[in-house]
Amino acid sequence: MDDSCRQVLRELQMFLDGESADELQHIISRHLGDCGPCHDQVEFQREVRVLIAAKCTDCAPPGLMERVCATLWPS
Ligand SMILES: [Zn+2]
């Protein structure tokens, strides 16, 4: 995992929320085109979000995404 991967993973939640800066969105999108592992992580995160939105619209426990992230990327 190189520095750009770390940056992508750090910004991933913002990226998926569409809240990162335009330039960063662009950088991440380009990186995802080149980097299979990061691309897979993004796809997985998207699926998790869809699943959460579909299954517990009103009851997603606070901090769930943080726990999912901590499981995926233990620091
Ligand atoms: Zn990467």
For residue range 14-62, list pLDDT tens digits in order: 999 889 899 999 999 999 999 999 999 999 999 988 887 777 666 656 7
Ligand 1: distance of its center to the CA of 69 in Å?
16
CA 21 vs CA 26, 47, 61, 64, 70: distances in Å: 9, 23, 28, 25, 24
Ligand 1: distance of its center to the CA of 59 in Å?
32
The amino acid that residue 50 corresponds to is V
Instruction: List the chain domain ranges.
Output: 3-72
Report yes or no on whether pTM surpasses 0.85.
no
Q: What is the pLDDT of residue 59?
A: 63
User: How many residues in total does the chain contain?
Assistant: 75
Ligand 1: distance of its center to the CA of 57 in Å?
31
Q: How far is the C-alpha of 27 from the C-alpha of 42, rounded, in Å?
A: 14
Ligand 1: distance of its center to the CA of 31 in Å?
6
